[in-house]
Structure 1
Amino acid sequence: MLEQLLIFTRGGLILWTCKELGNALRGSPIDTLIRSCLLEERSGAASYNYDAPGCSYTLKWTFHNDLGLVFVAVYQRILHLLYVDDLLSMVKQEFSVIYDPKRTLYNDFDDIFQQLKKEAEARAEEMKKSKQVVKPMNNNLSRKQGNVQNGNMDGGNQKKSGGESGNDHASENFKGRLSENGNLKNNHIGKGEPTTIVKNNGKENGVSNTGAFDVNKLQKLRSKGGKKTESFANKVSKEEPKKTTKKNRVWDDSPKEAKLDFTDPGSENGEQHISVVSTDQGESMMDKDEIVSSDSESESEDEETAKDNKNDGKKKGWFSSMFQSIAGKANLEKSDLEPALKALKDRLMTKNVAEEIAEKLCESVAASLEGKKLASFTRVSSTVQAAMEDALTRILTPRRSIDILRDVHAAKEQGKPYVVVFVGVNGVGKSTNLAKVAYWLQQHNVNVMMAACDTFRSGAVEQLRTHARRLQIPIFEKGYEKDPAVVAKEAIQEASRNGSDVVLVDTAGRMQDNEPLMRALSKLIYVNSPDLVLFVGEALVGNDAVDQLSKFNQKLGDLSPSPNPRLIDGILLTKFDTIDDKVGAALSMVYISGAPVMFVGCGQSYTDLKKLNVKSIVKTLLK
């Protein structure tokens, strides 16, 4: 049974709802659909599943892009209603006839909807019955075709011998055809076409590929002990000249230059002196506004426009391309959008965007443009690129304002430390970028404490201790082979006692498929309830970014004992200075998780941490 059907504008004004259905929806499936799909360019999906306590809904939708209308149907997921797509299409067609932008009430549409619903249900029942009737007929037909192919028209009275398929008559016919076309062997061998072999009583007849590798010869060689192979190998080894060994480099006895010696000077007792980073090392890049120059971008856009015009002229001719750009088309169809969308998909994939994400984005853009009227003096490729640019900007822009410094001061007023947990896979740079975040917080007069909760990897505690000494930040550590959840809890308690404002929790790197370590991470988050769960990922990854983030969120949700588990809140993207224009990992991570990129690591020093410039990323992706 259909729960609800709504018609509203893209601005959020509800024009009509079905009063006779009158079912009160549990939770907020429509609002969730708008936030999670429509606003984040996931509208190309076929449906959306909404789960809430005591209910499970499936939502389907369609757009009238020219009028700016959205049609949404809601029904219980367990029902699998077959007529919903057909009903939405008919409702869209009928409502667009009576739609008036000045009207807000459409009570006269109730009777029309009931008639359309009856027609859709009747059509679905007819299709179901026709499928039930056609199915056995197809089975009988396929069974008869199988008998014909086997040469067995009289119910299988002729028996097959030797486990071979077919009968002697069929093989004789094939031999006759083969003998008639005697040039078959000469024409087909060596041209990359498959070779046909007919077996009769265990013997091979017909064409054989003489150029192929003979397995029987290999077995004979193995039975003889491989003498031929060994002799050939010995022969080759004798013919090979001896390799000349590299002479050892002779170093002069002059002392090393001081500027080339980067080791820490040690005392006579062998103690290492760790240098302390002074507060005047420099301002963190987080506090600097990045300026994006548009000169090169405009030049590339002009070149691309000229190239597209040239291609259009080759394909359609000068007059037809000019007429289409000036007069425009009545409504855009999917076939009009496919060439431009395919080019955009290929461009996104070359910029390291995951293939799955690029395809979904193109489907969403197609859904938002299909049926829309093309403006005059506008080409289809320009319209598609503008729609994709808007979609990428909406995806990468955070849905809510994220200000860590403001949240830190709010937690300080409540008398508790602000807790940040750094999670991620192995080797992405969690500890190094944790130290960068600590340095940035220090620049804003925030008291920071580190918690060494990576009790799994050898040297992890010493690495974090080195960063803490250089930054003159207190560190809480308990060594190795301890429960990281307990260590984090004690660290938070210690921070409350000594007046620390922020606790940065370092965790062990773990692969997304390692269930024991993922269970330990889920326990740490559940026990300590951090204010921010920060996923640290590399900017170098492509398709693997989707797998990492989706499985991290899935494991954190499945392994948590809480009914409302904590998932990833934000992303820290590392090694951003090594990828040139391959910035697609940022888009893939944000799209798959819905979490914003809060920090970007772009170097080796503590100041090399900055914000994500959304405008710059979008321009780079479409360049």
Structure 2
Amino acid sequence: MLEELLIFTRGGLILWSSCRALGLASPLKGSPIDALIRSCLLEERAADAGFTQDNYALRWAFSNDLGLVFVAVYQRMLHLLYVDDLLAAVRKEFSQIYDPKRVCYDDVFTDVFRQLHLEAEARAEAMKKTRQQNTLPSSRAPAGGGGKKPNALGGRAGPQGGGGGKKGGTESGKDDSDSSDSGKEQNKLTNGTIKGHANSLNKDSSNARALVADNGKENGDPNDGAFDVNTLRKKIGGKKGGKKTDAVTTKKAAPKAEPKKNVKKDRVWDDHPRKVGKLDFTDPADERGEEMVEKAIEHQGDSMMDKDEVLSSDSEDEDEEEGEENAGAGAKKKGWFTSMFKSIAGNNVLEKADLQPALKALKDRLMTKNVAEEIAEKLCESVAASLEGKKLGSFTRISSTVQTAMEEALTRILTPRRSIDILRDVQAAKERGKPYVVVFVGVNGVGKSTNLAKVAYWLLQHNLSVMMAACDTFRSGAVEQLRTHARRLQIPIFEKGYEKDPAVVAKEAIQEATRNKSDVVLVDTAGRMQDNEPLMRALSKLINLNKPDLVLFVGEALVGNDAVDQLNKFNQKLADLSTVPTARLIDGILLTKFDTIDDKVGAALSMVYISGSPVMFVGCGQSYTDLKKLNVKSIVKTLLK
């Protein structure tokens, strides 16, 4: 049963609702249509086959020329077959009576919808009966057979109903004979294999007996069956082999001369050599090292997080880019001429075939910028769904229209759906008397500890008290690494060493921060692959036990398709292993090594598209100041350049 059918504009104005028009209260629990708009339409997933929310399934259709959206909601367990047919019919009929100046169609479209609904149900029922009739003979055949209907064995019944199984019986007999012949051949092959193995074993055993007999004769032993290992080695390896073994033993017996160790000389930095001394100043016992630690923050400067990145105004030649698009899509002269013809004629309705060359060029371009192939394809399908049926303006090329639509789609995806202001949230937590807790998670070697220190440095510049929690009790040296950062930044660190439960360590760290009235607790966790079940279970326990305010996924900007797998499985594991009904998933993303990728910025798009979480920080260097915000306009421009 159809729960509701809704017609609204892309601006959000509801023009017609089946429940409102029929005078019924809305039976929908929750807000499945709002979830559809947030998760699919605004995230450029409009090309997906369907959407499910709680117990509901949703299907939709667009009228891009009029800017209308048609959504049908039904119980997901029903699997209604007529929904797509009904949506197409409703779109066709409603488009004929639509007036942009009118905002309510309850008195005009209600009777039309009832008729369309009845017709769609009738067509679906007739189709269902036809399918049942077509599948009935093959699933249940008559025993005696009559007429010329096919029986269960594939033969045809005779004219009097008695010879129905003849052909089928003959064929089954052939099948039996074939199976028996194949069985005989299989037995022959098996027997031949066994005999071959037996012959080889007999041959080896006879060779071994011959060697043993020769050994007895050479040694003059009265027991001819005696076994001598040295003689057997000589028989197998020959005389040269025996000499080699003797040479090896003599070489081993000779003592080796110890090589002289090369002592590293002090480096000379200028024409006047001087004693440099110790270059590592991380040891707190060293007086000079303490001075360097005290001045570590002073020499860093301001963090790049508080600086707005200036986007260069250099614009590329659009004609040249669009020419590359057509050439990459294989359109060449024909594709160029077709697009120009469309633009000169004007008022032509765009069809999917017209969009394919430009979309293929855009897909290839996105993939060269390190966007995952699956995501690039879905984006192009979504853009095609948003443009199909639109009228092309005069002197407007298809390639420029597609590029503009893609630019708008990428901007919507990369723009955060909800504002996450850490500084504001820290102040709110401070008023409640609790520290703001941030947990850093990710795979091995992406730079969690280093970028945690960068975030700590940025928070220190805003006069917030920060404490580090060393919850990476798995990797050797992780605690010492975080301890070094804490000493250089002059902030406290909570540690319990190795082989401890990280969830308990994080809980005790938060309690310690509450007693000391620290504003922020930054929790460092062990790097783990997304398929590591024990470590993912430990991470889920840490998050569920401590309920952090922010879960940051630290990922490399170098990855392409692997970013999709990492984020998918991290979220999936956190959801599956959660002990509470509403599982806590990843809230934001920190991209590292962003300064090493040149224009291959596609990982940012892949991660945001998969998780729906915004990129909150971007690591772009090796010092504490090298942390900045993601410039959405710059990323979009780079992806489409």
Give the TM-score range, shorter chain.
Answer: 0.7 to 0.9
1:293 aligns to what? 312
Label 1:463 to 1:382 Cα distance change in 2 as closer, same or farther (>3 A): same
Could you tell me which residue of structure 2 aligns to residue 123 of structure 1? 123
**Alignment RMSD, CA only?**
3.5
With over 3 angstroms needed to count, the CA separation of the structure-2 counterparts of 1:59 and 1:345, relative to structure 1, is: same
Superimposed CA distance per residue, residues 391-436 of structure 1 (whole angstroms, 9 cap, x where no aligned partner): 0000000112222112112222222211111111111111000000
Question: Counterparts of 1:267 and 1:491 in 2: how far apart (Å)?
Answer: 25
* C-alpha displacement of 1:273: 3.6
Map 1:124-523 to 2 at 5 A.
124-136=124-136, 144=154, 154-158=170-174, 161=177, 163=179, 255-257=266-268, 263-264=279-280, 273=289, 275-276=292-293, 277-295=296-314, 297-299=315-317, 301-307=318-324, 314-315=333-334, 321-523=339-541
Which of 587, 601, 606 aligns to 1:583? It is 601
Residue 74 of structure 1 aligns with which residue? Answer: 73
Return the offset for 1:366: 1.1
Distance 2:348 2:459 in 1: 56
Contact 1:312–1:321 (CA under 8 A) maintained in structure 2: no
Residue deviations 1:493-545 (CA, integer Å, cap 9, x gap): 11122221111011111122222222221121122111111111111111111
Which stretch has the larger CA shift, 156-165 or 88-97? Answer: 156-165
Query: Which ranges in structure 1 are unaligned for 5 or more consecutive residues?
Result: 167-198, 204-219, 235-247
Q: Answer yes or no: is the 8 Å Cα contact 2:339–2:398 preserved in 1.
A: no
Deviations 1:571-606 (A, max 9, x none): 000111111111111111101111000000111111
Distance 1:600 1:322 in 2: 42
Distance 2:281 2:306 in 1: 34
Q: Decide which structure has the larger Cα Rg and report it.
A: 2
Instruction: Give, in angstroms, the shift of residue 157 of structure 1.
Output: 4.0
Instruction: Tell me, in whole angstroms, the C-alpha distance in 1 between the residues paired with 2:152 and 2:269.
Output: 85
Q: Distance in 2 between matches of 1:291 and 1:327?
A: 40
- In structure 2, give the amino acid aligned to 1:539: A
Paired letter, 1:156:
S
| TM-score for the superposition, normalised by structure 1 | 0.81
User: How far did 1:223 drift?
Assistant: 12
Find the counterpart in structure 1 of residue 32 from structure 2: 29
CA contact (8 A) 2:7 2:17 kept: yes
Aligned residues: 550
Q: How many angstroms does 1:323 deviate by?
A: 3.0
What is the CA–CA distance in structure 1 between the aligned matches of 2:500 and 2:434, rounded to whole Å? 25
1 or 2, which has the higher helix percentage? Answer: 2
Task: Decide which moves more: 365-374 or 513-522.
Answer: 513-522
Question: Which stretch of structure 1 is more off in the superposition, 258-267 or 450-459?
Answer: 258-267
Q: More displaced, 518-527 or 385-394?
A: 518-527
- Please say if residues 155 and 168 of structure 2, whose CA atoms lie closer than 8 Å, have aligned partners that are also in contact: no
Q: Could you tell me how far apart the structure 2 residues matched to 1:348 and 1:316 are?
A: 21
Q: How far apart are the structure 2 equivalents of 1:286 and 1:313?
A: 45
Q: Which residue number in structure 2 is paired with residue 549 of structure 1?
A: 567
In 1, Cα distance between the equivalents of 2:180 and 2:412?
A: 63
- 2:331 touches 2:357 (CA, 8 Å); kept in 1? no
* Cα offset, 1:133, TM superposition: 2.1
In structure 1, what is the Cα distance between the partners aligned to 2:202 and 2:65?
A: 76
**Aligned position for 1:528:** 546
Counterparts of 1:543 and 1:266 in 2: how far apart (Å)? Answer: 39
Alignment of 1:560-571 (within 5 A): 560-571=578-589
Answer whether contact 2:326 2:357 (CA < 8 A) is retained: no
User: How big is each residue's C-alpha offset from its partner over 1:61-88, in whole Å with a ceiling of 9 and x where there is no partner?
Assistant: 0000000000000001111111101000
Give the Å deviation of 1:465: 0.2
CA distance in 1, matches of 2:321, 2:494: 56
User: Which TM-score applies when normalising by structure 2?
Assistant: 0.78
Shift in alpha-carbon separation, 1:590–1:322, aligned structure 2, 3 A: closer
CA distance in 2, matches of 1:103, 1:380: 31
1:104 aligns with 2:121: no
2: distance between equivalents of 1:450 and 1:523?
Answer: 19
Unaligned runs of 5+ in 2: 140-149, 157-166, 190-198, 205-235, 241-258, 271-275
Q: What is the match of residue 43 of structure 1? A: 46
Q: Distance in 2 between matches of 1:594 and 1:223?
A: 69
Q: Tell me, yes or no, if structure 1 residue 621 matches structure 2 residue 624.
A: no
Separation in structure 2 between the aligned mates of residue 563 and residue 378 of structure 1, nearest angstrom: 52
User: Contact 2:486 / 2:492 at 8 angstroms: preserved in 1?
Assistant: yes
Alignment correspondent of 2:83: 84
Residues 264 and 272 of structure 1 are in contact (CA less than 8 Å); yes or no, is this contact kept in structure 2?
no
**2:15, 2:574 → 1: CA distance?**
40
Report if aligned partners of 1:3, 1:75 keep a CA contact under 8 Å in 2. yes
